[in-house]
Every structure is written in C-alpha cells, then in structure tokens.
Amino acid sequence: MGEPFSAVEVIRAKRDRGRLSDEQIDWVVDAYTRGAVADEQMAALAMAILLNGMDRAETARWTQAMIDSGDRLDLSGVGRPLADKHSTGGVGDKITLPLAPLVATCGAAVPQLSGRGLGHTGGTLDKLESIPGWRAELSDDQIVAQLRSVGAVICATTPRLAPADRKLYALRDVTGTVESVPLIASSIMSKKLAEGTDALVLDVKAGSGAFMKTLDDARRLAEALVGIGAEHGLRTTALLTGMSTPLGRAVGNAVEVAESVEVLRGGGPADVVELTVALAREMLSLAGIDGPDPSAMLASGAAYETWCRMIAAQGGDPEAPLPAAAHVHLVEADRDGTLQRLDAYAVGVAAWRLGAGRGRKEDPVQHAAGVICHAKPGDVVERGQPVLELRTNDPGLVPAALNALTGAFDLGPDAPATSPLVLDAVRRPQ
C-alpha cells in the first residue's frame, strides 16, 4: 500500500506558510522515523518550520506524533506524586543534582531522565559519571524500583522514548534549524510527556550563557512549553532565570558534583541554593505536596542522605574522591577593583576547551576539567588575586581556553547593578 502523502507536498505546504493538518503531521513524523522520508526532505521541512513557524495546535500535534513514535514509561506503580524539572541549559547549571534528592526528601518522586552535554552547556550525565562506579543506563523496571525505594533517579533517557526526537534532533543540529521555537518545545516536551510525570517545572534560561539570549525569546519558548503541557493535560510551570553569569562558582563535571554536595550538606553558593529551592517549591506545589519547607530540608542536610542513597543505587560511591586535574592555571586580576561582570558564555567555552565538554556527541569528556570562579560580580579583588582557576589534564588546552576568556570580565570602581536570578514565571498558556 502506498503512502497517504508525499514528503514534497508537506514541505510545500509549510514553505508556502500553510498550516499542516493533523494527518500530515502524524504521517511525516512516523514516515521519517521509519525511513520513508529522507533526511534531506525532513531537513527542508525543518527549515520551513524554522522560517514560517507552527501554531500552538500544530506544535501540540507534532509533540504527540513524536511521543507516538515510541513507548511511554509506566510510572503508575511508584506510589508517590511524580514531579520533574527540565532546564534549557546554561553554564554551571548543576541544579538537577541537588534538586532531585531534595524534592524526593520532601515527598515527591523525581524521574529525571537526562542527557549529555554538547558545546558550552554541560550535561547532567557527564557530571555524574565523574563519580566512581555510577552508571547512567537503567531499565524501565530499575527506574520504577529506584523511584519506589529512593524517590529520585537521574539516568539516561531510554532508547524507546520518543525515538523520532532523537533522529530529528541530530538532523537539526547539522542543518541550522536548532533555533525553531516549535521544534525546541516539541523536542523537550515529547520526552517529558513520554516519561510519564504528573508535574513539570521548566527552567528557561535567558542571557549570554543560555540558548535564548534575550528575556523576550526565553518567554516565547516558555509560553510554547507551558502551552504544550496544557494541551496534553500536564501540570506545567516555567521559571525564567538569568544566565549571563555562571551559576555558582564551579563549571565542569567533577567540580560541579563537589559544589552540589556542598549545597546538599547545607552550604554552597547562595545562587545555587536560591534556584534549587525556588524550583523545588514549584515542583512540590504542582505535585500537590504541602509539606516540609525545601529550604529547611536543604539546610538540615537531610537531602544529602537521599543523594547518597540515589548515587549508591546506581552503583556509585558517594564517599569516593572525585577526579582531580593534573594541571591548574590561574587567571589573575591585573588591577584592584570590583568585578563588574563575568560572561557566562566565555566561561562555558573555556571549560569546554579545557576538556569538560564535547564538540561532537561521540567525543569523551575530561571529568576533572573545568573552571572555578574565585570571584563573581560584586566581589572586590586586588591586583594579582585569582579571578578564575582553569583545571585540565592537558596543559596544551590552556591557551585556547585563555583565548575564549578574552574580555570575559571587567573590573571597575563601583559595585555593579544587580538583577534577580528568577526573572519571571509562566504558569499557564498566554
């Protein structure tokens, strides 16, 4: 039996600013997944979508078609309200690490299916793999069992969840079509809806180190994400958060795990604590849990006990020493002053060039590599005082990292203007 549509007619419809029908969307996503639509044809359609957009109903249907390309994770036997979080990615964004055990300690179950880093934004799995013995790959049954016993799991997405997204994401990455808001939103939400959570909080970042550079662009994406959630009956909230300065002081893999453990033990940088608590409150509220205050639970160290159980359940040793870099290079202040700004993107690229990130998805990462920010905007520094500490196992990578940091920070006489970390919230479709 022949195909009900041709790829060319679907491409033409969107090229000419038409609206794709539900049947066209269902067919083209399925046909691409099974190989009946070629990469070059889907690339042309993705470019047409990038240029001409999709409305809310089209985006919701596209999301559904990607979910239908694979299986759904059945978490009905977990026995607790389910809440998850997704970040659009940033520099020093280790929030998932303290957040998942914190929310579990407060009574929810957190199925955090995560990914690996590409480019200047780090991947949660790469960070956790710096812990000796920890494994990312779990079966569906293992995920459910760990959610029942520990309350939190951070693991790799299973191959059967939204396989269309995996194939399309790789194509968008090499065809200049990553920036399409409908395609970003449907990519994120298809995986989260297939995962089977009850509530979802999105951390949509805006600033130099974020995918969305402006608050307006971040808000458009947040509204698209929350709109898809509403169309699919998923309780969804998005927080718009700043990403012009790195989060916390550690950027890398092992260094971010170490900082997360500080937070879980009741310490750590104030901005990491603030955002962890803000997201935890949103997750617990959406999950219908009105119980312990996450701020007090974090400060008490109770969430650290859950962290240790979560890491151990996946084969890791939470007490084992983390990898240490063989080479350290300090970037010092050339004069006295107050740090005016510290550019998140530049720091992220520097960490990437030191070996903390990857240029292609198959590249390995150095778990010990990264950047420590000894000063953040508003801190007073003296001439010769370290501002940044570069860590790597390969000193030959330092010059490229230093090049990335050219102009990354400014010193001045006065304290810089401050802006809030949480900029806004989107709680329902606009």
For the domain that residue 342 is a member of, what is the CATH number? 3.90.1170.30
Nearest-CA neighbor of 134 among 318, 270, 304, 297?
A: 318
Positions marked active-site? 86, 165, 172, 187, 191
The pair of three-digit structure tokens given for residue 71, joined into one six-digit string: 């299986």
Same domain membership, residue 338 and residue 305? no
1: pLDDT confidence band, cut at 50, 70 and 90?
low
pLDDT above 90 for 411: yes
Domain final residue pick, 280, 305, 320: 320
Same domain membership, residue 171 and residue 102? yes
Alpha helices by DSSP H, listed for 265-301, are: 270-286, 294-300
The pair of three-digit structure tokens given for residue 157, joined into one six-digit string: 């997405």
Same domain membership, residue 341 and residue 227? no
Nearest-CA neighbor of 202 among 349, 88, 95?
A: 88
Max Cα–Cα distance, the chain, nearest Å: 76
For the domain that residue 42 is a member of, what is the CATH number? 1.20.970.10
Same domain membership, residue 381 and residue 238? no
Same domain membership, residue 89 and residue 158? yes
Range of the domain at 343: 327-412
| Predicted pLDDT at 103 | 98
Residue 29, classed as helix, strand or coil, is helix
Q: Looking at 40-44, 111-115, 370-374, 399-403, which range is the least confident one?
A: 111-115
In a domain, 77, yes or no: no
For the domain that residue 182 is a member of, what is the CATH number? 3.40.1030.10
In a domain, 71, yes or no: no
Rounded to an integer, what distance in angstroms lies between the CA atom of residue 51 and that of residue 48? Answer: 5
Mean pLDDT for all residues in the chain: 94
Same domain membership, residue 239 and residue 186? yes
In a domain, 63, yes or no: no
The dihedral through the CA atoms of 294, 298, 299, 303 has a sign that is positive
Q: How many CB atoms lie within 10 A of CB 267?
A: 13
Instruction: Name the pairing type of β-strands 199-206 and 235-242.
Output: parallel
In a domain, 300, yes or no: yes
Q: Looking at 223-237, 297-311, 358-372, which range is the least confident one?
A: 358-372
Phi, psi of 185 (to 5 degrees): -65, -45
In a domain, 417, yes or no: no
The full DSSP string for 114-145 is E---BTTBPPHHHHHTTSTT------HHHHHH
| Predicted pLDDT at 211 | 86
In a domain, 75, yes or no: no
| Predicted pLDDT at 2 | 75
Same domain membership, residue 172 and residue 279? yes
| Predicted pLDDT at 3 | 85
Same domain membership, residue 217 and residue 114? yes
Q: Looking at 16-25, 168-177, 190-199, which range is the least confident one?
A: 168-177
Residue 21's region, left for phi above 0, alpha for psi from -120 to 50, else beta, is beta
Rounded to an integer, what distance in angstroms lies between the CA atom of residue 196 and that of residue 74? Answer: 6
pLDDT above 80 for 21: yes
| Predicted pLDDT at 420 | 95
Same domain membership, residue 232 and residue 175? yes
- Compute the radius of gyration of the chain from its Cα atoms: 22
159: pLDDT confidence band, cut at 50, 70 and 90?
confident
In this predicted model, what pLDDT tens digit does every residue of 349-373 receive, in sequence order?
A: 999 999 998 777 677 889 999 999 9
In a domain, 66, yes or no: no
Same domain membership, residue 283 and residue 402? no
110 and 84 in contact (C-beta within 8 Å)? yes
The total number of structural domains in the chain stands at: 3
Comparison of pLDDT for 101 and 357, the residue scoring more: 101
pLDDT above 50 for 430: no
Same domain membership, residue 359 and residue 283? no
Rounded to an integer, what distance in angstroms lies between the CA atom of residue 239 and that of residue 245? Answer: 17
Same domain membership, residue 332 and residue 293? no
Which amino acid would we find at residue 1? M
119: pLDDT confidence band, cut at 50, 70 and 90?
low
In a domain, 90, yes or no: yes
